[in-house]
Each structure stands twice: as structure tokens, then as C-alpha cells.
Amino acid sequence: MKEKKEKKEKSNTSPARGMRDILSVDVRRRDYVMSIIKETYQKYGFEPLETPAIENLETLMGKYGDEGNQLIFKILKRGEKLDQELAKFNELTESTELANSEHSENSENSKSSGNSLADLALRYDLTVPLARVAANRSSELPKFYRRYQIQPVWRADKPGRGRFREFYQCDIDAIGSGSMLVETDVFSAVAEVLKNLGFKEFVIKLNHRQVLRGILEAAGIEEARQTDALVALDKLDKIGTDGVVGEMLKRGISEASINKVLELFKKINSLSENAEILDALKDFVGENQFGQLGCKDLGEILGFAKDLPIKIDASLARGLSYYTGAIMEVDVGKEIGSLGGGGRYDGLIGMFGKEQIPACGFSLGLERILVVMEERGMFPPEIAAVNSADVMVTIWNEESVADSLALAQELRAQGLHVLLYPEADKMGKQFKYAGQINVPYVVVQGDDEKAAGMIALKNMQSGEQETVKREDIAKRIKAA
Amino acid sequence: MKEKKEKKEKSNTSPARGMRDILSVDVRRRDYVMSIIKETYQKYGFEPLETPAIENLETLMGKYGDEGNQLIFKILKRGEKLDQELAKFNELTESTELANSEHSENSENSKSSGNSLADLALRYDLTVPLARVAANRSSELPKFYRRYQIQPVWRADKPGRGRFREFYQCDIDAIGSGSMLVETDVFSAVAEVLKNLGFKEFVIKLNHRQVLRGILEAAGIEEARQTDALVALDKLDKIGTDGVVGEMLKRGISEASINKVLELFKKINSLSENAEILDALKDFVGENQFGQLGCKDLGEILGFAKDLPIKIDASLARGLSYYTGAIMEVDVGKEIGSLGGGGRYDGLIGMFGKEQIPACGFSLGLERILVVMEERGMFPPEIAAVNSADVMVTIWNEESVADSLALAQELRAQGLHVLLYPEADKMGKQFKYAGQINVPYVVVQGDDEKAAGMIALKNMQSGEQETVKREDIAKRIKAA
């Protein structure tokens, strides 16, 4: 019992479950990656957008599928509104107890979701907020609005290795055109981000929702079971052919249909050229209008994007329900999984506004990029320093505090990052501290140096000490 | 009824109450200010820290006073835990109805706060999370840890002009030393931020919690009424002497005590030099140990910070309850109010960890800074452009799409921000669009130009058009 209590006290200062405190080196790494992403996206004409962390609950509910609804962090109502809901709640419970079982089931539902107790929710992705903004500002935004957005999102997912409940997404979206040139330009931008971050090899996996629909229809799978079939197919990489067959059978898809689909995939797997794969897909979907439309789009993208490492992956399905056209993921290595994905969603903005506005976007996951870049040693060495100070100014004695302050200010004015030791401790203690925090230089102005207008400068790495004219210190440190 | 419904549909795409969508120009303004703040704080040896938006509810509760507790956004529990709470809730209500009035009052309280329904909460400031981190990482952080942190915080305050429910704070804090050198260095850093942002005149208002305590005790106000007295005093600027007297009388403070305090303030108001004010304070607090200690600190800060525009303001109290020593605010003009404030809080970290660790910090409010800078026209003109693209590449016809793509990529490779028009519309339509979005240059590669290896370049502002060698375009645009 006692042990348990101690454990609890200790955990009080930990971040909440699935959350992280991010300290100096890691913040610098994140800033490095985000600044490259920003600069690159600006070159492609994307403008910045920031949306609030808090959205109305109704804005988010129903946009991410059933699982998504469960993972949205909901914010408790406040003040009178909360009191009102709690009062209603009690009434509901009382009437439920009196009511017959037919009604009580519904009441149970509304009870356990707790939705009436919340009015707000935390941003779950960056696409739905963009769609809301695009509908809200449709008269003010340019017809072909392109925006980038780099912000955290929150999901009440089970935390695991490399999976957090707060994580950053880096999104670009191009709104207003249905041209496949948009997909191509989005691919080019993402590819350049990866190149600028230092990734030499990567693959853009490409597929199309209408091609998938065409395949399923051509295989005789009725519309009501197509989503199930896609969910199963999307796992092909992970659970293999047998796993996919099992899942599909369980969901009531006929063996004949399953075999047709698997035969197609077997054939595709034996092909290496996009053109061959596209031909196989065209053959398979035949006269199916959805399939034909999707194949036409894929053909156009492949024609425009000749220089990009695109690979058609007919099993790529992507989880989110709002995609309507091309879908894509980017991979930098088999073992890692995708660093991001996206697609065309021509129906989402219309859910918020009067107009249907076509749109296509791509989302890079910052956390995954950081993990891979760290594993591969892709960060420049200068951002790896725990401490970013160039020099520490010591304090000779109580009487020279003002002198040390003035010296620190002089060096800062010359652009150095300067730590001022805060107390007139013994010099040995001050040097010991400088060693602990790993600062490269320490300066001392003792009485003798002061009289001569000089400063003692110690290189903490080499241990060398020299006496330098006060006005030359910054130059000396910068030259190193 | 119909009108009401239409109104509601329209508001569905607005951001939630007190929240904002921030578009291109405004994001650029924010980035500009934040990058200056970051660079300046780095020069003073502050390292970056980021803490999660979501904290455990218990981390935040009780740290910001009663009003603060009410304004914290609380996150609803999820899944089974929510179900359990809702079940308990019903039991509680039932037992409340059966219980006598003595118990029902408590039950009512826990009901209307709804606290048991929430387990998490949104970051309310950056100081409490820092104190949590400092306690959590005490063995790993340097003894004199200095960090800057620029992140949003959320408060369920009533939204108003310039007052939002999501806003950014820019904090620096120096942990581990009780030396007044820390206060001085913090002031220097804040002063340099303001200078680097372009503020030419500002005042750092300085006071001390122990001086305030000394004043109140010397005036014969008992400890239990001192907080009330401070709250009243803090409003001196807003409600004037009569208002302060009224508030104090209402709170049971004797007329004799009030008169003593007001007499001191009258005297101080007639003085202009910090040294004179400090002498008046020393006289007034006499033998009071808190007052003496506070005056000593103020004297040291004034001695160290001779070059800074500091002004002792004995009525400055600052709302937050955790301050223990020097307190400060920075003003850039009488009509504006403070751009930020801070102080010493030597007890807060000890609330989270075993050790008492002294600390001092300052928080600048980003939103207020932005408002003032915009009113005063302090932003550089280049960040005011709605659209950041340097040039738009047109599409001559369906056959030349790939050429336009290649041209856009070439110009991007040379560092230009390039918008690619996404469709092979009529040239007039493409130019009209370029005019609407205010892009400075448009390039066209018609069949004739293509044959000659040339590109037509139009300056959208002057209307001039010239034919330029393909390889010279970027140079030409950059030269302008």
C-alpha cells in the first residue's frame, strides 16, 4: 500500500498519459525539420494557415468514422450549461429506470457517450478544420487556395512506442481544382521536402478510390460490403493473403469474389512497370465507369510526374472515409511504414458549405520523420548541443557583479549566446558548472585583468587559457 | 424560426467561441514576432522547452486561485472511466435526494463543478507546466536552468475585443538562483526583445511582494485581509483612490489602516526618482522584516540594472498567487496596459517536487504585442503581402501542361516561390486570376516562345511585358 502511494506521488510530475515534455535538443530538431518543410512548401505557393486547437464538437463528430469519434478528446461544458446537462442527466436516469427496455437502450447510448456533457473538442486532424475554413471564407479566399499548416493534433489513442496522444501534422492542401496537375504538384512538393531533409530514396505509393471501387464492383462485391473489403485489403502488407481472405469471408464476401480480387493482385505483384499495372487494372475494371475514371486519373498523374518515384499500389486504401479520388502514401523504407499520406477529397468542403469544392492534400507526420532522421543520423551536428550558449561569463566577486553584467551584455550585442553565472560563487565552482553544462568558452575578469582592460578566455574543450583584449573576445570565439 | 435556423447553419463554419482562424498575413506577422523573441532569448542563454497542451487536471487545479480554477478547460473522461463516473453520479444523486440537507450541500458542489467527469485539462499558463518539468527532471537539468517557451494557452474567459480563449504566451524563466542578478538579466532580455521588435519607449514597472506585505503590516492590516487589500490596491490605476477606499472598507479593513496606506501612495506619487521612492518605502516599513527584505532586493536590482528604464510602482500587485518576491510589468504606453509581466516565485516548484527551488520569470503576451505593432505600423512591409508567391506559371494549352510543370520546377529550384495555375483555361482567365491574387509576375510559354527557347514575362504591377531567355527568368525576377 505504501509503495503504491509513493509511486503515485512520483507520477504527479510526469506529463499526462501519451504526452511528452520536449526539451532543448529535441525542440531544436523539431524546429529544424519544420522550418525546412515550411520553406519548401512556400516555394510551391502554399500559404500558412493556423486553426484553433479547440473546435465545436459538432464540427468534428462524424467526419472520421466510428473509431475516430471515439478517439476525439471532448471538452466538458462549463458553468450553467454544465449544471443544466447534469440536471437533465438525472431526469433521464430516473425516467430510464421507470421506462421499459425499448427506450432504455437509447438512453444508455446517450449516457455512455457523454456527448451532451461536452460542447467542444480538440483538433483531430488538419483537413476537417481546413474544410471548415474554406467554407467559412469562400468569398475571401482565392479560387485556387493552397495552404500549409503545421500544428499539433490530439487523439485519445492507446499510447505505444512512437505513438503519442499529441503529435504534429504537416499538411498541404490545394483547393478549387479537379485537375491532376494538382496531385502532381503536391507530389513534387512532398518529394522536395524529403530531398531537402536528406532522404535520398523514397517511394510515393499511388492508388485511387474509384479504381478500388471499380475493382470491387468488377469482382461482384456489392456496395454495402465494399468498405469492409477495403479495410481488409489495406492490411495485405501486414496480414498477408491468407489473413485478407479470412477477414473477407468473415464479413460475408463470397469466395468467388475474393478469388477474383486476389488473382488481380497476384498478377499486379508480378509486374514492375506502372504502365503495365495500369493496363492490368484497366483490363480488370472493364466497362465499370468508376474504375475507368480512376484509371484515367492515374494515367494523367503518371504522365505529368515522370521524374517522381511513383509506384502504383493497388492495395493501398487509406483509412479516412473522406477520400474520393487519388490516394497516396510516401515510404522511405520497408521496415518503417509511411511517413505520410493524402489524397483527393472532393466532397468534404461541401459538408460545411453550400458549394462542392474539389480539393487534394497531403499530410506528413512530424514524429515519424524525427524518429527516422534520428535513427539515420540525418541531423546537422550543430543542433545536437544540449546547451546552445557560446560562452559563460563568470562573476569574480560581489563587487564585480555589475562588471560581469556589462560584459555579458557587450558579448550579446555582438551576437553571441551568453550565459551569465548568477552568483558570486568560488571560481572553481563556477568552472565546474561550466563543465557540467558543456559550454565551449568561459570568460573571467579578475582584478588584474580589469586593471589592464583584458579578459581571461578559457577554451573548455582544449583547456587552453589566453588573455584577450575585451573588444576582441567575441571575434575570438566566433573564429573558433 | 426559419431565420434562426439559417443563422445557425451559417455559424457552423465559424471557429468556436473565442477562437480564431489565422490566415497567411497574420501567420507571417506572428512568425516574425516569435522569431525575434526566440533569437533574443537564445542570446541570453535560454533554451527551448515545449510542454503538452494537455495536463493532468490535478496538475493545474489549485494553482491559479478560485477564478483560475473556473477558467480551466477540462477534458471529459473517456470509455469505461466515463461510464463509471456517470454511474456513480446517478448513485450520488439518488443518495442526495434521500440525505439530509447537511450532506446535500457537499454533493451539490461536486456536482456542479463536474470535476469527477474530467481527468485532463488544457494548459492554462506556461509557468505551472515548467514547475512540473523542473521537479520531474531535477536530476537531469542544469542547476541554473533557463528556458524559453512560446506556446498557446487556453482560458474559458468571456471573449471580448482583443481577448481570446486561445492565445500565445512567450515566457522566459530562470531556475535555481535567488540572486537579484537573475531579475536583472531577465529584465535585460525582455528590454532587448522590445527594442528588437522596434519599441523605442517602454517602462518596466517594478515592485515586490514582500514590500507589499511590509506596507500592509506596517499599516496594521492583519494577514487574513492582506490578499483583499492587494486586490483592491492593484486597481488603483483603474478605479482611483475613492474606489480603492470603498473596496477596502467593504472588505473590513479599518479606516486608520487605509489612510496610512493611501498617505504613503500619495507621497510616492509626488516622487520621481526610484531612489527617493525606495527611501520612502524603507521609512514606511520600518522594522518589518518582510518589508526590509523586499526593499533590499529592490535596491540590488536598481543597482545592477542602471541602464534599464525601471520604475518602482508600489501599487503593482499582479494577480497570480504564486509570486513571492520581485514582481514586474512592462508598459509601452499608458493607454495600452502591460505587454507582459512576471516575477519571482520561490515556492511553486516545491509544490511539485521534494526540493524548494527558487525561480524567476517573465511572460510576454503575443496577442497584445501584435495589436500594438499593427496599430503603430511596426511590421516590415515584405510580410504584409497576402500572397507570398513571386511568380505564377500559366498553362498555354492541354498539350503544354508538362512544359509548364517543368518550368515551375526550374524556377523553384532557383529559389522562387512559384504558383502553378492548375488548369488549361483561356489565357485571359489565367491573367485575371493572377491580378486577383496580386502575384507580381506571370510567365507564359506560348508555341512561338517555346520554339525560340524564350518565355514571356509580365510585370503585373507595371503591365510591362518582355521576352526573356528561359534561363534568365529567375535572375530577372529576383533583380526587381
Name the band, by pLDDT with cuts 50, 70 and 90, for residue B220. very high
Do the bridges between strand B326-331 and strand B359-365 make them parallel or antiparallel, or are there none, so unpaired?
Answer: unpaired
How many inter-chain contacts (A to B, CB under 8 Å) are there? 290
d(CA A352, CA B12): 7
Q: Bigger pLDDT: B109 or B477?
A: B477
Do the bridges between strand B54-56 and strand B166-175 make them parallel or antiparallel, or are there none, so unpaired?
Answer: unpaired
Name the band, by pLDDT with cuts 50, 70 and 90, for residue B320. low
Residue B196, pLDDT > 80, answer yes
Q: Distance from CA of residue B259 to its chain's centroid? A: 37
Contact B51 A24 (CB under 8 A): no
* B201: closest CA of chain A, how far (Å): 19
Residues of chain B by 3-state class (helix, strand, coil), percent to 5: 50, 20, 30
In terms of CA atoms, which chain B residue is nearest residue A196? B413
Q: CA angle, corner A303, sides to A300 and A307, nearest 5?
A: 135
B299/A contact by beta carbon, under 8 A: no
CA distances from A204 to A191, A194, A289, A316, A343 (A): 8, 11, 26, 11, 12
CA distances from A410 to A399, A406, B44, B113, B188 (A): 19, 6, 12, 53, 12
Q: Is A50 helix (H, G, I), strand (E, B) or coil?
A: strand
Task: Give contacts of B187 with chain A, Cβ < 8 Å.
Answer: none
Task: Give contacts of A143 with chain B, Cβ < 8 Å.
Answer: 433, 436
- DSSP code string of B84-143: HHHHHHHHHHHHHHHS-HHHHHHHHHHHHH-GGGEEEEE---SHHHHHHHHHHTTTTS-T
Segments in chain A below pLDDT 70: 1-11, 89-114, 320
The reported pLDDT for the residue numbered B93 is 57
In terms of CA atoms, which chain B residue is nearest residue A96? B90
d(CA A284, CA A274): 15
Q: Is A307 helix (H, G, I), strand (E, B) or coil?
A: coil
Contact B16 A56 (CB under 8 A): yes
Chain B, residues 256-285, CB within 8 A of chain A, namely none
Task: Give contacts of B395 with chain A, Cβ < 8 Å.
Answer: 181
pLDDT digits (tens, 9 = 90+) for B330-385: 999 877 889 999 999 999 898 898 888 999 999 999 999 999 999 999 999 888 77
Residue B107, pLDDT > 60, answer no
Contact B304 A22 (CB under 8 A): no
In terms of CA atoms, which chain B residue is nearest residue A146? B419
Q: Distance from CA of residue B234 to its chain's centroid? A: 21
CA distances from A287 to A215, A223, B70, B216, B429 (A): 11, 17, 63, 89, 36
In terms of CA atoms, which chain A residue is nearest residue B11? A136
pLDDT digits (tens, 9 = 90+) for A118-165: 999 999 999 999 999 999 999 999 999 999 999 999 999 999 887 899
Q: CA angle, corner A22, sides to A19 and A28, nearest 5?
A: 145
Average pLDDT over residues B211-235: 91
* A206: closest CA of chain B, how far (Å): 19
Name the band, by pLDDT with cuts 50, 70 and 90, for residue B3. very low
Instruction: Closest CB to A19: pick one of B54, B117, B353.
Output: B54
CA distances from A471 to A225, A402, A407, A455, A477 (A): 78, 18, 10, 9, 12
Q: Grid coordinates in use for A478? A: 566566433
Mean pLDDT of chain A: 90
Residue B427, pLDDT > 80, answer yes
Q: Which helix (H) or strand (E) holds B310?
A: strand B310-312
Do the bridges between strand A326-331 and strand A338-344 make them parallel or antiparallel, or are there none, so unpaired?
Answer: antiparallel
Q: What is the pTM of this model?
A: 0.91
d(CA A214, CA A223): 11
CA distances from A310 to A203, A339, B67 (A): 6, 15, 56
Q: Which residues contact B66 (CB under 8 A, 6 or more apart)?
A: none
Q: Grid coordinates in use for B239? A: 478605479
Contact B422 A177 (CB under 8 A): yes
Instruction: Closest CB to A75: pick one of B44, B76, B133.
Output: B76
pLDDT digits (tens, 9 = 90+) for B456-472: 999 999 999 999 999 99
* A50: closest CA of chain B, how far (Å): 5
d(CA B261, CA B284): 9
d(CA B196, CA B51): 27
Q: Distance from CA of residue A473 to its chain's centroid? A: 43
Cα–Cα nearest to A340, from A205, A220, A227: A205
d(CA A331, CA A340): 8
Contact B21 A402 (CB under 8 A): no
Q: How far apart are the first and last CA of chain B?
A: 58
The reported pLDDT for the residue numbered A8 is 40
Can you tell me which residue has the cell 421507470?
A98
Kindly compute the dihedral angle of the four CA atoms of residues A372, A376, A382, A387, in this order, to the nearest 10 degrees.
60
* B18: closest CA of chain A, how far (Å): 10
Contact B48 A28 (CB under 8 A): yes
Contact A16 B120 (CB under 8 A): yes
Task: Give contacts of B156 with chain A, Cβ < 8 Å.
Answer: 78
Neighbour-count burial of B314, counting CB atoms closer than 10 A to its CB (0-12 exposed, 13-18 middle, 19+ buried): buried
Q: How many CB atoms lie within 10 A of CB B479?
A: 7
* A245: closest CA of chain B, how far (Å): 32
B50, B92, B128: which to substitute to probe chain A, counting the most A Cβ within 10 Å?
B50
Interface ipTM: 0.90
B117, B181, B430: which to substitute to probe chain A, counting the most A Cβ within 10 Å?
B181
Residue B392, pLDDT > 60, answer yes
Give the amino acid at A94. E
